[in-house]
Amino acid sequence: MTKDDELKPETKARFQREQLRVEGGLKEHEEYAAELAPSARRIPYGDSFTRSSTRSIQTEDVSDEEMEEMVQAVTRNKAVGYTALLIALLSLFVWPVVLGISGVILGIYAFSLGNKALGSWSIALGLLAVFAYFVLVPFYA
């Protein structure tokens, strides 16, 4: 990689801000299938980004306070996802109905905040715990 192939600092900062917006769910016109779709922006070997691409990127300056707010939003969203997963895992061993339903509700909330994987796992494990409880209780009662 030569010196000409490296990204300029302002270009790198712009892409980092865009990534924080996408991960934090702060983008208004976000598509849900964007996680599976290939990236529309390709920068081979660090060439400068051109505006001739089909997708326009907002290039307005973001203040430090807004950047800090985006980072906190991403961190908050991940915390909700991990809490939902922990509650759903606990529901497999203790209070399956109460914690299972709580895990499903928090999983749906985490999914809506943008944590698709953590939310899906929480929903699945919570439903599994509740279903297993109602199926297995008649055999042991």
pLDDT tens per residue, range 71-104:
777 777 888 899 999 999 999 999 999 999 999 9
55 and 79 inside one domain: no
80 and 128 inside one domain: yes
User: Which residues constitute the domain of residue 110?
Assistant: 63-141
User: Which among 83, 88, 67 is positioned nearest to 115, based on CA atoms?
Assistant: 83
User: Which among 13, 8, 7, 9 is positioned nearest to 64, based on CA atoms?
Assistant: 13
Listed residues 62, 90, 106: the one ending a domain: 62
Predicted pLDDT of residue 119: 92
- From the number of C-beta atoms within 10 Å of its C-beta (0-12, 13-18, 19+), residue 96 rates as buried
Predicted pLDDT of residue 20: 74
120 and 134 inside one domain: yes
Listed residues 47, 62, 77: the one ending a domain: 62
Q: Are 89 and 118 in contact (CB under 8 A)?
A: no
12 and 44 inside one domain: yes
Alpha-carbon Rg for the chain, nearest whole angstrom, is: 21
List per-block mean pLDDT (blocks of 10 residues) for the chain, which spans 141 residues. 64 78 62 54 53 51 78 81 94 93 94 88 95 90 72
Listed residues 17, 32, 62: the one ending a domain: 62
Instruction: Report how many domains make up the chain.
Output: 2
Is the full-model pTM beyond 0.85?
Answer: no
Predicted pLDDT of residue 37: 53
83 and 141 inside one domain: yes
Predicted pLDDT of residue 24: 67
Instruction: Enter the DSSP assignment of 54.
Output: S
79 and 136 inside one domain: yes
Predicted pLDDT of residue 135: 93
40 and 78 inside one domain: no
Predicted pLDDT of residue 66: 79
